[in-house]
Chains A and B, each alone.
Chain A
Amino acid sequence: MVMEIIIAAFLVIGGVFGLVGNYGLIKLDHPMARLHAPTKATTLGVGGVLIASMIYSFAFEAEGSLHELLITLFLFITAPITANFISKAYLHRHAHEETLPEPNGDTNWAVLERPEWSPEPEKTQEG
């Protein structure tokens, strides 16, 4: 009974966080703020569901499994990378030199730097 309550609590926590994260994707009004909401759905929402699944397998099935830890770990590793990629793409498309604050140190924003050598623009080959 105690196990059932723990599993149910993890499921409910995961579901609520998933819903809040997805609602934030609609609700927040700045693109960079919108980047913030789905990370909650990733880490806490899916994490809660997978932890519940793990406890369930240990409590009620013949042999417990730790497989779910793999997915959790994979999501924990990849979520910041995708968020970084998307925010960099956003900066690349929308930010201008005047609107960005001055960075610390002697380097400029990596997005704004132009490479010294750039290849010749390829000729399009259209039949």
Chain B
Amino acid sequence: MIISYALDFAFICFGLGLLLTLYRVIFAPGVGDRVLALDTMVINTIAILALQGMQQGTEIFFEAAMVVAMLGFVGTVAYARFMLRGNIIE
């Protein structure tokens, strides 16, 4: 009982966080902030996937969260490299 309330609270927190990062992606003062906001968005998505898996009692969302984490890391590194060099694979 208490867990379902806590789950709802965490869902609301991370959902609001996603909205805040979306605002930051759209109205960013610089390119670096945009990349940072996208990275934070990926992290929020991982948390929401973990919460969803907990709510429904399945293990399926774990794999999705893992894949999202890895792709988010690779994507952020690629973006940062593009900012540094203007090129990703030289």
Which A positions have Cβ atoms within 8 angstroms of B? 4-5, 7-9, 11-12, 14-16, 18-19, 21-23, 25-26, 31, 34-35, 38, 41-42, 45-46, 49-50, 52-53, 56, 61, 65, 67-68, 70-71, 74-75, 78, 81-82, 85-86, 88-90, 92-93
Contacts and interface: CB of A to CB of B under 8 A. Distances in A.
A14 B36 CA distance: 20
Given A49-B50, A71-B50, A85 B81 contact: yes
Contacts of B23: 26
Contact of A23 (B5, B20, B50): B20
* Chain B contact surface mostly: helix
B2 A22 contact: no
Contact of B2 (A5, A70, A74, A75): A5
A90 B30 CA distance: 9
Contacts of B21: 22, 25
Interface hub of B35, B54, B81 (most chain A Cβ within 10 A):
B54
A66 B59 CA distance: 11
Contacts of A74: 66, 69-70, 73
What are the 8 A-B residue pairs with the smallest beta carbon separation, nearest first? A22-B17, A15-B13, A85-B80, A8-B6, A15-B10, A89-B83, A11-B6, A38-B40
B83 A93 contact: yes
B77 to A, nearest CB: 6
Interface in B3-42: 3, 5-7, 9-10, 12-14, 16-18, 20-21, 23-24, 29-33, 35-37, 39-40
Nearest to A16: B13
Interface string B33-58: 10111011001101100110110010
A67 B84 CA distance: 35
A70 to B, nearest CB: 7
Interface string B52-90: 011001010010011001100100110011011000000
